[in-house]
Amino acid sequence: MSAPLLIAAVVGGGVLLLMRRLFPRQKAVKLLRYSGENMRGKTVIVTGANSGIGKALAGELLKLRARVIMACRDPRSAEEAAQDIKKQAGPENGEVVIKHLDLASLRSVRNFCEEVTQEESQVDVLINNAGIYQCPYTKTDEGFEMQLGVNHLGHFLLTHLLLDLLKASAPSRIVVVSSKLYKYGHINFDDLNSENNYNKAFCYSQSKLANLLFTLELAHRLEGTGVTVNALTPGIVRTRLGRHIQIPLLAKPLFYLASLVFFKSPLEGAQTPLYLACSPEVEGVSGKCFANCEEEELLPKATDEEAAKKLWDISRRMVGLAD
């Protein structure tokens, strides 16, 4: 055996072994089936709907006759995705609307919400799906660490600015996509913006924990309004979310093959957010987290009411909502 082949075999075996340890093979996901009329007449906003889970979710909602607003940073990519999901859904389905939204810019978030409130008479479901994962240290337009800014603060402001419309459309729902990687983070209130130290893995976990604490506090504040909010962890899904992760060249083909075995497809990853957006089983349920369409038990740090309230107040000041 030649040296390159031997090296490839060793590296490949190591990758497969590591994948088995990190990502135990997930049981098959049962695809949901709802009536074709399930979402007729309802307007659903999906952030990051041009790829991955967001695109698959938008496609499923379109089949259910929903009016889907694809809130995306890249209009060209969004247009290509829209054409694709419309083709897959076939005729006599819902409607697709593309709107520009850059969660790394609070001005863009405000412009998006102003446009939506002026043009839409109702918003029945808001799905906070877009995210960025373990990127190099960069900042948003307002100077926030990028993962905190996009994954938490951008969606925090987006949700706040659409609350009046969601309340007027009640019963309505908010769905927040988090991650099981929240387990490896905590809210660093002493350096929330990672000015003193940047660890890309920690910052992602911190942002996903922030999603859960936001869901917890928001649920309390929405009691009695007819608006519910729930979070979810989709599991490990084959998407472009991990594009910033560096994989050795020789290991890339093997990593791809392993992902086909151990990771969910985008459609499988979209099942839990679809469930939370559509299912009558979760009508009136709020402040919970779900995985594989079942309620998930969270670690105590994700149900810490004091931390949730503190993060809420700080986030309001950071996005310019504080009095």
Reported as a single tens digit per residue, the pLDDT across 172-230 is: 999 999 999 999 999 999 999 999 999 999 999 999 999 999 999 999 999 999 999 99
Q: Given 34, 137, 198, 204, which residue is catalytic?
A: 204
Superfamily of domain 30-319: NAD(P)-binding Rossmann-like Domain (3.40.50.720)
Rounded CA-CA distance 108/116 in Å is 12
To the query of whether residue 184 is one of the catalytic residues in this protein, the response is no
Per-residue confidence band for 9, with pLDDT thresholds at 50, 70 and 90: very low
The confidence score (pLDDT) of residue 30 equals: 67
pLDDT digits (tens, 9 = 90+) for 122-162: 999 999 999 999 899 999 999 999 999 999 999 999 999 99
What is the widest separation between alpha-carbon atoms in the chain?
70
Averaged pLDDT for residues 37-53: 94
Q: Are 258 and 106 in contact (CB under 8 A)?
A: no
H helix runs in 133-234, sequence order = 146-148, 155-168, 200-221
- Candidates 153, 76, 69; CA nearest to 109 is 153
Mean of per-residue pLDDT scores for the chain: 88
Per-residue confidence band for 239, with pLDDT thresholds at 50, 70 and 90: low
Residue 256 confidence (pLDDT) above 50: no
* The dihedral sign for the CA sequence 99, 160, 49, 57: negative
Q: Are 215 and 287 in contact (CB under 8 A)?
A: yes
Per-residue confidence band for 25, with pLDDT thresholds at 50, 70 and 90: very low
pLDDT over 70 percentage in the chain: 82
pTM of this structure: 0.86
pLDDT digits (tens, 9 = 90+) for 52-96: 999 999 999 999 999 999 999 999 999 999 999 999 988 888 999
Q: What is the distance of C-alpha 150 from the center of its chain? A: 10
The confidence score (pLDDT) of residue 94 equals: 93
pLDDT digits (tens, 9 = 90+) for 97-123: 999 999 999 999 999 999 999 999 999
Rounded CA-CA distance 143/206 in Å is 17
Please name the amino acid found at residue 181.
L
Would you call 234 helix, strand, or coil by DSSP? coil
The confidence score (pLDDT) of residue 260 equals: 46
Rounded CA-CA distance 64/53 in Å is 17
Name the residue with higher pLDDT: 261 or 322.
Answer: 322
The confidence score (pLDDT) of residue 23 equals: 45
Residue 39 confidence (pLDDT) above 90: yes
pLDDT digits (tens, 9 = 90+) for 268-321: 999 999 999 999 999 999 999 999 999 999 999 999 999 999 999 999 999 999
